[in-house]
Amino acid sequence: MKIGFVSLGCSKNLVDTEKTIGIFKSNNYEIVNNPKNAEVIIINTCGFIESAKQEAINTILEMAEYKKQKCKYLIVMGCLVERYKTELEKAIPEVDLFIKYSEYNLLWEKIQRLLQKDIIEKANLNKYNDFNSIEERVISTGENYAYLKIADGCSNRCTYCAIPYIRGPQISRKIEDIIKEANKLVNQGYKEIILIAQDTTKYGTDIYGKPKLAELLQELCKIEKLHWIRFLYAYPETIDDELIKVVKENKKICKYFDIPIQHISDTVLKRMNRQSNGKTIRNLIQKLRKEIPNVIIRTTVMVGFPGETKQDFEELYEFLKEAKFDKLGCFSYSKEEGTPAERIKEQIHPMTKKSRYNKIMSLQQEISKENLKKQIGKEVEILIEDRSFDGKNYIGRTYMDVPEIDGIVYLNSSKELKIGEFTKGKIIDVSNYDLISV
C-alpha cells in the first residue's frame, strides 16, 4: 500500500513522524509525497495553542476529501488526539483511527488491526513496543541536517502551557543512546545535528539527578565527521557557567542560544510560574555576549498574558529595544483548556493582544535589519543547501541561522559548489531577514 504523511507542529513532532515513516518503510510499504496518491494518509497533529488546533482540524478535513478518491484509510495521531480524542471521534467520523501520544507504544499494533488485509506477522510487534527506542527513522529534512530528540515531555508546569498535560513529565534519553543515534546520522551523511527537547537545558535531571547537556555536547563533539551541533529551547535559569564554557570552547557547537524568556516583567513571570526573573535574564544576556564573541541569541516572548498591564508591556518593549536580540519570535497568549492561566480572571482583550504583538514585531524588524548590517564585510562559513530559482545564486545557512526558522544566505559564486558543501563567503549586503554574500 502507498502511505502519505502530513506532519504538523514542532520539530519534536516531526521526529515522531519520521519514526513512524521508518516503521512503515522497514515493513515494505511505499511512502509517497502527494496525498492524492496515498491509500493511507497519516496526520501527526499539534494541539499546543488555538491556531495549531485549528490548523490540525482544517488539515484533517482537507485530507478526508481524499477518501472520495484513492484513500482507503485516514489515521490521525499526536497531541491534538491526546487532548480531544473523544470529541474528535464524534466530530470527524471520516477518520478511521485516532492514536493518542500516550498510545505510541501500541501505534503499530493499532495500525495493523486497521489495515487487516495488509497486516504483517504478529511476531514483529515486539520490535515496536517502545516508541522512544525505535531506530527506524526516515529523515524528512533533506540531506544536510537532522533533529535529534534528547528528551520528551516537560516538568516545568508554566501556567499557560498544556505540554505537561499532553506529553507528561520530562523523560530524558540515556547519553549512550543519543550518541549511538548521532553516529548513525553522521554516517548517513548529515553535517548538522540539532538537539531538541521541551527544555534542553534540563536534559538528564530526571535520570542522572542533574543537568547533563554540557556533558552530552562534549561527547557529541568527539564525533569526527560531525560539523555543526546546535541545541534549541534552552531555558534561561538552567544556562550555567559549565554550559557556556562548553559552547565557547568547542568549534563544532554553533555559537547560538535559543532562550525562550517569555517576558521580562517579574509580575508576569511569576504569574507564568517561570523560574527566572527580569534581573537574572538581563544578567544572562550580558554574560553570554561577554563570554562568547559573535554569539547569536534568539528568544520568544508572549504578549497579552492574563493580567499583563500596560506598564508590564512597556517594560518588555523597552527591554527588547535595549537587548536587541538577533532573532525573536512573538506570540499572543492563547487560552488553553485545563491550564492554570485559563482560570485567571484578568484576561486581555484580543484587540489589545493584537496591538501589542504588532508593536513588538515592528520593533524587531528594525532591530533585525540593524543587526544584520553589522555582518557586512565579515567572512562567514556557509553550508550550501540549494540553488535559487533563477540559478544565479546558491542558498545556504551560517551558524547564525536555524533551518526553517531564521534567515538564509544568498551566495553568488563563480565556482561550482555542491549541495551539502561548506564554503566561505563575504557578506556584502542584507535583504529583510537574509544575507547576501560573494
CB 339 within 8 A of CB 366: no
* Whether residue 98 sits in one domain with residue 25: yes
Average pLDDT over residues 2-28: 94
CA angle 232-223-134, nearest 5°? 65
- Same domain as 157, residue 76: no
Do 147 and 37 fall into the same domain? no
170 and 264 assigned to the same domain = yes
The single-letter DSSP state of residue 235 is: -
Averaged pLDDT for residues 292-300: 96
Q: In terms of domains, do 232 and 345 share one?
A: yes
3-state secondary structure of 8: coil
Q: Per-residue pLDDT for 121 more than 70?
A: no
Domain span including residue 229: 140-373
CATH (domain of 305): 3.80.30.20
Instruction: Tell me what the mean pLDDT of segment 322-346 comes to.
Output: 94
Indicate if 243 and 321 belong to the same structural domain. yes
Q: Are 161 and 201 in contact (CB under 8 A)?
A: no
Give the domain CATH number at 66. Answer: 3.40.50.12160
Question: 384 with 364, same domain?
Answer: no
For the domain that residue 403 is a member of, what is the CATH number? 2.40.50.140
Residue 117 pLDDT class (50, 70, 90 cuts): low
Average pLDDT, the chain: 93
Q: How far apart are CA 389 and CA 395, in angstroms?
A: 10
Same domain? 369 vs 401: no
What pLDDT is attached to residue 432?
Answer: 76
Task: Give the range among 218-232, 316-330, 366-380, 387-401 with minimum mean pLDDT.
Answer: 387-401
The band of 200, judged by pLDDT with boundaries at 50, 70 and 90, is very high
pLDDT > 70? residue 32: yes
Write down which residue in 92, 108, 132 finishes a domain. Answer: 132
Rounded (10°) angle between helices 310-323 and 278-291: 10
Q: Tell me, yes or no, whether 404 and 306 share the same domain.
A: no
pLDDT on residue 204: 96
What is the tally of structural domains in the chain? 3
Cα gap 267→276, rounded to integer Å: 11
Q: How far apart are CA 255 and CA 246, in angstroms?
A: 10
pLDDT at 124: 57
pLDDT band at 125 (very low <50, low <70, confident <90, very high): low
Task: Tell me how far apart the alpha carbons of residues 392 and 303 are, in angstroms, rounded to a whole number.
Answer: 41
pLDDT of residue 208: 96
Question: What residue type is assigned to position 382 of the chain?
Answer: I
335 burial (CB, 10 Å; 0-12 / 13-18 / 19+) is middle
Least confident of 38-52, 114-128, 245-259: 114-128
Does the structure show a pLDDT above 90 at 388?
Answer: no
223 and 356 co-located in one domain: yes
Model confidence pLDDT, tens digit, residues 396-434: 999 999 999 999 999 998 888 999 999 999 999 998 789
Q: Which amino acid is at 142?
A: G
Give yes or no: residues 345 and 421 share one domain. Answer: no
- Average pLDDT, integer, range 336-354: 94
What predicted TM-score, i.e. pTM, was given to this entire model? 0.91
Reported as a pLDDT band with limits 50, 70 and 90, residue 95 is very high
Q: Are 292 and 150 members of one domain?
A: yes
Low-confidence winner among 124-128, 265-269, 305-309, 415-419 (lowest mean pLDDT): 124-128
What percent of the chain is predicted at pLDDT more than 90?
A: 85
Least confident of 135-139, 323-327, 398-402: 135-139
Q: Mean per-residue pLDDT for 70-76?
A: 95
The residue from 357, 373, 389 where one domain ends is 373
Using the predicted structure, report yes or no on whether residue 86 has a pLDDT greater than 90.
yes
| pLDDT grade for 123, boundaries at 50, 70 and 90 | very low
Domain boundary residue, one of 342, 358, 373: 373
